[in-house]
Chain A
Amino acid sequence: MGDLLLLVLACAAGTYLWRALGVAVAGRLDPDGEVFTWMACVALAMVAGLVSRMLIEPVGVLATTSLGVRLAATACGLVVYFVVTRRNLLAGVLAGCVALVLLQTLR
């Protein structure tokens, strides 16, 4: 049991390292400068890359659904969020999840 706690502490330290490094770098960064704009682009592209990877090439339980089912469910979420509820995030997310479950059971 002590071993597991040690594992967790070591993983936490390995994660915090990057957080601290980010704060240290930020101290030398001008939020109106070009380097900042570039880093914001990198961070956003990273998140977007992860999201599209999860939707197009998922691992784990999501991999049991077909690409068509996932894209149709995503479309439901987008329509409910942007059109039906005019940017109600919770409604959009729930609509996407419900659509996924329904499409998967009806398949």
Chain B
Amino acid sequence: MTDDRMDDAKLEELARRLGAGAAERLNVERVAGAVVERLRSEPKIERRGPSPWWLQPKWLRAAAIVVLMVGVGIVVRGWLQVGSRHQAHYIAEDLQDLSASQLREVLGTLDETLQAATAPSAEDDLNDLTTEQLQALLRSLEG
């Protein structure tokens, strides 16, 4: 164990000395000048500090999720609208198969339906009846 520790210590001592001479020979002032010169020639934008909050990864991820959800919503809504358009399309195709007389009949039916929808309600008619007429009506309903 003692030998191992000695070996580790020797290894670390060797490691500490690695590159020491080369580092000493490095002309630090020249390197500093060259680095500053290169930085000076680069766009100023690269010197900026931390990105604005809205450019931080967590906010970008949140924005991406929102965009994704909106996109999915638009697609789903589009599909639903396409489905209803298909129904209208099928009806139109049915009508195209009808003859002129059949179309008139369909239109007549539609007229009746619309008139029935706009006809006075039964409640309104009952208000117009006299007492005798109402009694007669009730008797007839009782059979």
A and B: interacting chains: no
Query: Which B residues contact A (CB, under 8 angstroms)?
Result: none
